[in-house]
């Protein structure tokens, strides 16, 4: 297996925090709670917008157009 040519910011931060623990973990996670929180945050970000937010945004735009007399009903 070849070594990666990039270095993630999180691994650099782990090394800067405690080089001995980072080396002991061999670059892996040594704080399971932080790793779980990070994974959860990445999954939440990757899900994308919900249909409810889209529908509410459309209604808000239509309401603003009617309020400012741009669209007449």
Q: In which domain, by residue range, is 34 found?
A: 9-67
In a domain, 60, yes or no: yes
Residue 60, pLDDT score: 97
In a domain, 20, yes or no: yes
What does the DSSP assignment read for 11-64? HHHHHHH-HHHHHHTTTS-S-HHHHHHHHHHHHHHHT---HHHHHHHHHHHHHH
In a domain, 43, yes or no: yes
In a domain, 72, yes or no: no
Residue 19, pLDDT score: 84
In a domain, 63, yes or no: yes
Residues in the chain predicted with pLDDT less than 50, given as ranges, are none
Tally of structural domains, the chain: 1
């Amino acid at each position: 297996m070849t070594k990666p040519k990039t270095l993630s910011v999180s691994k650099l931060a782990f090394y800067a925090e405690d080089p001995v623990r980072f080396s002991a973990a061999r670059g892996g996670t040594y704080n399971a709670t932080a790793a779980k929180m990070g994974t959860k945050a990445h999954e939440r970000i990757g899900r994308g917008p919900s249909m409810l937010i889209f529908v509410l945004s459309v209604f808000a735009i239509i309401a603003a157009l009617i309020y400012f007399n741009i669209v007449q009903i």
